Every structure is written in C-alpha cells, then in structure tokens.
A and B are shown apart, each in its own frame.
Chain A
C-alpha cells in the first residue's frame, strides 16, 4: 500500500493508468445506447455479392473446357493428381487386405521395431473389423497422394527458406495466414478451379497440410550446427556437397517430424474434403453429422483416429532414432518376412475383408447415445439453456444490434491497445471487408460463439495448465491424454458433443472447447515450467508461499506463453466453430456447408468461407501482438 502512494504522490496531477481505457469503454457504451438498432447490416440470402459468385461458378463450369487457363494448366494438374490418386488406390486395392497388412506391418517394424509393427497390423485389421475396408483404403490413398505432393513441394521450399533469411521472410507471413485458415476455407475455391472429386480433395488436403512441411523443414535446416557447415566449407566443399552430405543428414530427424505433422494435418483435412466429393471415410462422417447419427460416424471416426495413431507412431519412431542408428539385420529380416508373408497370402485370401469378420455396431451405438441423451437430458439441457439465455443470446443481440461503425471502432481501439497500430489497421480492414461481403450479421453471430468458446477454453486451460505445472504427478497423468488429443483430427471432437447436446449452437461450442483446451493447457504448463529454476528457488528461499510464488513469479514470467496460448486458442476455436456448422452452429459455418450441398447457394458458401478467413485473421491480429510487445510496465518505464 505504502509503495503505491509513494509512487503516486509526485504524479498526482496525471490521470491514473486505467483512465484512458476506461474513458474509451464508457464512450463506447454511451454510443451503443444512443445508436442501438441503427446502422446494422442484416443478412440477405440473395445479396448481389453471393449471386455474382454463384454465376461465376456456373460460367466456369460451362467453360471449363474452353478457357486456355483451364485447358492447358488447371485441367492438367487435375488430371495429374487424379491419375496419381488412381495409381495409389489401385495399388492399395491390388494389395488387398493381406498384402496391405503385411507391407504396412513390415514398414512399421523398420521404423520402430515389433511394437509399432504390432500396432500397425492391429490398426489395419481394425479398418476391416469396423466394416470400412474400402473407404479406409480410399482415405489412405488420398492421404498418401496429398502428403507426397506436400512434401515434394514443401521440403525444397523449406530447405531454401532454412538457408536464406530473405526467402524465410517472404514465406513466413504466407504460412501464418495459411495456418489460421479454417479447413473449410480451401474447399470452395478449389471446387471452383478443380471441380469436385478425388483430385480436388487431394489438392485441398495438400494445400492445408503444406505449412508444417515448409515451416518445420526450414527450422530443421536452420538449426543444423553452423560449425559443421563451416567445417565442410573450410575443407572446400561446394554448396551442393554441403547440402547433401551435411545439412540434410543433420536435419533428418526434424524433417521426419515435419513429415509427421504433415500427415496429421492431412488426416484432419481429408475428412472435410468429402464436402467436395472426395472419397473415403469422410463420407460416413459427414453423413452421420448431417443426420445427427453418432452410430454412423463413430466407426468411421474410430478408423480415422486409428489411422492417425498408426501413422503418427510410425513417423515419430522414425524421428526419434539417433543420428547414426541403422536397422539391425534381425529387424530387416523380420520386416521382410512380414511383408513377404502378406504378399504371398494375396492369392490365397479374398481381397476384400471377409463379411463375417466385421462388427456392425451402428444400431447399438445409436441406442447408447439415445440412452445418454434421455437420461442426461436434464443436465445437458440445463447447461445448454443457461449458457444460451445468460451468455449467448445477450452477447449476440449486443453485437448484431450495434451499429457496424461502432463495432469497427471498438475493434480498432482494442487491437491498437493490445497489438499496436499496424495490427489494428489490418484487423479493421478485415472487418470492413466482412461488411462489404454482405456477411456482417452472420460474422457477428459466429464471433459471439467464438468469444464464448475462447473464454471457457482459456479458463479451463489456465486451471489445468497451472495444476499440471505445480504437480508433477498430475502432469504425468495428463500428458499422455494431451498427446493423444493432439493427434486426433478436428471433427472427432464433434462426436461426443453431438452425442450429448444434439444439433445446437452449444454443440459447436462444446466441441471447440475440448478441441482447443489441450494445446492451451500444454502451452501454459510449458510456460510456467520454463520459468528458470533459480528464480523459483530465490523466491522460495525469500519465504514465498506457493500462492505468492504463482501470482508474483510464475504467472508474470510465463506471460508470453499464456498470451500465445490465448492466440492459439482463438484460432483453433474459430476453426472448430466453423466445422460446427455441420451440427447446427448456424451463421458462417452453416452458410459454408449449405454452399456445398446446394448449387444455388454456392456463392453464399464461398463468401462465407472468405468471411471466416477474414474473421480469423482479424482475431489473430488483435491478439498476436500481445505476446510480442513488451509489457506495458516496461514500456512506461523506458
């Protein structure tokens, strides 16, 4: 207390630090009360912007085989990717289930020994047991094509970016934007240029999965020991020799991680790509989502998760190997035997998975879900209704009834304060573009859902993160769960949400919370744990209680990590809320989904997709500056 008065005394004439923000906030409130209901931009399904895009699509579809751009360029890409997909799915189908199981098992053995091989064999068999053999093979082929293309393009760019700071500076902002784009955003433009079907799906998946391939490869290359590179140069190696003999071998483990991340991204996109008629497991999932039937989508969801786990374990085993580990002869023999056995069994066993070995549980699952819905009805409905009445509805009506210029000014002010002028102007630009696109009202509704989901996500994430940072025992329990959660594709989280809350706005919120909480928890925990041990020791030896340690030392020092967690949480939540359009989230997400299912609404869906991206960029810019800017106290004192 005494210290504050001592500091405050000389500057009595100056306003306290909170005065300016409080004044601005008061002004905004007054302006809202005065101008409420005026200057709103209500949604119009037949807005000229939407119709124009729909017409554009009609025109493109009619002239797809006339314009030289399509005839000599885009159609060839489509053809090439299509034949690549046919090649892969043909090969995988030709292998049949015995061959595929054997070959994949052998590869897994090479990558990480018998445990991984066992996992792979069990995983591949699971596709059959679930009765999803054919669609699993299609999904696998689609992922293979997308990942192959991503790596073929991404790794060279990554190597280039890793070796040249100029290229890195050029590539980074593009990747930043790509990474905050929700999965949906890629689909409509791709449908426009590449029509629909497997090639368009593979290209969409490739584009979505390419950022980690570039980014992590660049990181890997730039982290190569500079002395080793210099030593190579000092012995007269050419640039090529140094690249292939020193840089790439040393970067290999980290590049394996890039492969891993690319596969994971591809798996989460490959399902969504079904919206533009890409084949595979996505079909069952989207069908289940749109009919709110957990029984249809659960087996397909499990199959995708199994695929994710198998591929993840295989590639992480590869990444974890030491710099000079070579497979032992025994492992080579075992892997070879496994693959050979699988191939030898192709003529003997039927190619398709035998009917009798499948397990059809759709009806049972539906029954369980129905039981859960009815018996937990009071609880879930209470939660759902209370959030709707107390939080969602007031916030939504606040945002939609406020004049657009007031919202824009508020965004500008907040972004300026948090992230500085440049980010504020970008955010403002995005918001104005949303208004011009005719998606204002729906964007405001989506923002409401995102805001609420982010708030709850951050609260839960902070609590769990702090708990994990303080108790090693709790962290040991939580870590594997977080690891598992992060390998799961996004839509999987819709399953429990749908089972509990049916198709409502709240379903998407619930799903996005459980989707975004794991990375937030991890960032918070890591941030607190990264506080230097000496600082903690000094604070403890000065007699701090655990609470004082947390509030006065650990949380302030982990500030950057926590703000980064908030930023991540927002981006992930937005992505999920849009996917939630499939299960009744309404607004932009729903517009996007409708755009795919109904030809006449293509324009609406396309524009809504663009608006989602703009919303994402805006929210990202508002918050991202927070973790880069020095804290306000330091700024004042210098």
Chain B
C-alpha cells in the first residue's frame, strides 16, 4: 500500500491529459495554462484534462459532470489507462495504476475496475449470457461457472429469461442492463459509468437511474459516474465534481453546489434546479428575533425545504430548526415563501 490512505478507493493527483504529438513539451512549458482554443492554435495540442485531483471514498457514488468536450470522458478513461495520462498519479485500492505493468494493468481491469459505456459496446454475435460472461471468459473461467455467474447477475439486473436472446433483440434500456450486468459479473470493487444513460429515452433513463441507486444499495460498489445531465448528477451523486475545459471548477455535495456555486459558470448551471428539493433548512434558517415565540414544531437541520412546507402550513408558529439536539435557528412562513419565490439570494449560504 502506498502513502494513500485506505480510506480512499480512488485517488487522483495532478492528472493531465494532453492530446497531440508535442504533449510532453506543452506540459513542461507555460503553455499548459493557455485557454483550450489558444493552445490548439499555438501548439496543435488539445488539453483534455488539466491538473485534476480528487479522491473517491469506498462505497461512494462520485459523479463527474460537465458539458460535452469538458474532458470528463477522457478523465474516466485515464483512470484505468484506456487512455494513457500525460502526467499525474492515480491510485486504485492503494495501488499506483500509472506504474502497473501491462500484465498487472490487465489484472486490475479484470478484477478491480469495470466500466459501462454510453453506446453499450455489446457484441452482436453473442447471446446475452455470453456477453455478460465475456469478462469471465477472458479470465479463463470454465463455461459452466461463468454461465452460472452470468445467470445470477442477469436476474440481479432484472433480465431473467433473456439469457439466450441476442443484443439486437432487446430495447436500448435492456441492452444497457446487459452492459451493466457485464460490468458487475467480474465482481469489481469500482465501477465506472461513462454517460451510460444519455443514449436512452427520458422515461427509460429514469428507470435506469433508479436501477443504479438500487444496485448501489444492494452490492455497495464504489461508483464513478460521468454525465452531462445535472438532474441525473443530483439524483445519483453523493458528491459531484463539475468540469469545465478540462479542470474541476467545483467539487461538493448537491447541496453545496446549489447553495454555494463556486463561480458564475456553476451558478448558471444550477439556476433551474428546484432549490427546495435540494437545499435543507440549514440554508434558510435565521437566528430567532427577540420576543419570537419558540414553541413551534421542531425539525432537524437536514430536512429538505420542500418537506418543511407541510409542517409550516399546519402551524402558524416558526419552525424550530435543531442540529444535534440544540436549537440552530428558526424558519417561519415568510422565510419559506421568500425562499420559494426565488427572491432569496444564496448569499446566506456562505455564512
């Protein structure tokens, strides 16, 4: 085990990926700080990932969010060196991936990290069961064993009875379930998702998101999830990293991103999020004014704002917000209405 503490499943330090024949030269010069367009103009190289660092905790769902071209897909491929990073260190389960030999790297890919792809990447000439068993097959698992395992996984992802179908006989959502099953079949510690649902219809997408939440609860894998869809990020992510032009501009919980955007870019992003669904009472509570009645209903500070509305309408008295058994502040009807009407600036959040 390296110096990285066991508490992190994945640790990334100073990761760079520059495409182009003169990548190393650019990295060593000051050019690396240029804007992407200027850099391409000057050197012909494209910096897809620029000095990215983060840690993913075991069992966490870590979401990387950004628009297309922000470098998020390159970032996730660098983690298992499907794309060779230009600089930086990556440790997975305490092991330095960058130093791994090709054989060792294959072992990591076979047993520790698996990936789900946007366009599924299924093999049309193989039955569903053989697609799911592919990872075990290349490890040399005997046919009976791998088919048994594939059968278990297929029922886990809700594809009972489709083992003998071919991928092109399934709908898009079901095909991605096969992709999910293939990644799960090798029992990895970490699963990487590269925009897995963006090729699906909105309704199916919602089902699949629920599926991932359920799977995460049941199998408890560490997950790194790439998406360009903010609502997906907010729904799945325990922590979210927002990427822009190859760098992470903000990393935090959904509540932190919506409540305290780091810059205008992030603020612009989260503008349309229904804030009452994301923010908790902690963000809008205030100190009680002198003489204010403190015998109203009591709610914990982690209550979502939308969930406080029912309580507030049932009682005319201000809600007492408690944190760890102590009174942290109060929220009354006027506070709630002000917040819901959107006049409330997130200035309070910083406080």
A residues bordering B, Cβ < 8 Å? 225, 227-238, 241, 245-246, 249-250, 252, 322-324
Contacts and interface: CB of A to CB of B under 8 A. Distances in A.
Contacts of A241: 138
Contacts of A230: 82, 117, 121
Contact of B138 (A235, A249, A250): A235
A324 B109 contact: no
Interface string B118-129: 111111111100
B117 A227 contact: yes
Nearest to A241: B138
Given A232-B134, A234-B80, A246 B123 contact: yes
A238 B138 CA distance: 8
* A229, A238, A245, A250: residue with the most chain B Cβ atoms closer than 10 Å: A245
User: What 10 pairs across the A-B complex have the smallest Cβ distances?
Assistant: A236-B110, A231-B121, A227-B121, A236-B109, A323-B124, A235-B135, A236-B106, A234-B115, A323-B125, A228-B121
Nearest to A228: B121
B168 A225 contact: no
Nearest to A246: B123
8 contacts: A225-B121, A230-B121, A232-B121, A233-B82, A234-B80, A234-B113, A236-B138, A323-B125
B123 A234 contact: no
Interface string B138-163: 11000000000000000000000000
Interface residues of B, number: 33
Interface of B: 80, 82, 106-111, 113-115, 117-127, 134-135, 137-139, 166, 168, 179, 182, 186, 192
B138 A237 contact: yes
Contact of A249 (B80, B120, B125): B125
Given A233-B82, A234-B115, A235-B109, A323 B122 contact: no
B40 to A, nearest CB: 20
A324 B164 CA distance: 11
Contact of A324 (B82, B114, B127): B127
Contacts of B122: 228, 231
B81 to A, nearest CB: 10
A245 B108 CA distance: 20
A322 B169 CA distance: 12
A252 B80 CA distance: 30
A236 B107 contact: yes
Contact of B123 (A228, A236, A238, A322): A228
Nearest to B111: A236
Contacts of B121: 225, 227-232
Nearest to A235: B135
Contacts of B126: 249, 324
A233 B134 contact: no
B272 to A, nearest CB: 31
Contacts of B82: 230, 233-234
A323 B131 CA distance: 14
Contacts of A324: 124-127, 166, 168
A562 to B, nearest CB: 35
Contacts of B192: 234
Nearest to A225: B121
A237 B186 CA distance: 13
Contacts of B138: 232, 235-238, 241, 245
A231 B117 contact: yes
Nearest to A238: B106
B139 A250 contact: no
A241 B182 CA distance: 17
B119 to A, nearest CB: 5
Given A227-B117, A234-B82, 16 more contacts: A228-B122, A231-B115, A232-B134, A234-B80, A234-B113, A235-B110, A235-B134, A235-B182, A237-B138, A245-B123, A245-B138, A249-B125, A250-B123, A323-B124, A324-B124, A324-B127
A234 B190 CA distance: 12
Contacts of A250: 123-125
A235 B114 contact: yes
A238 B119 CA distance: 22
Contacts of B166: 323-324
A234 B114 contact: yes
A249 B29 CA distance: 45
Contacts of A227: 117-121
B125 A235 contact: no
Contacts of B182: 231, 235
A323 B168 CA distance: 9
A227 B118 CA distance: 8
A151 to B, nearest CB: 20
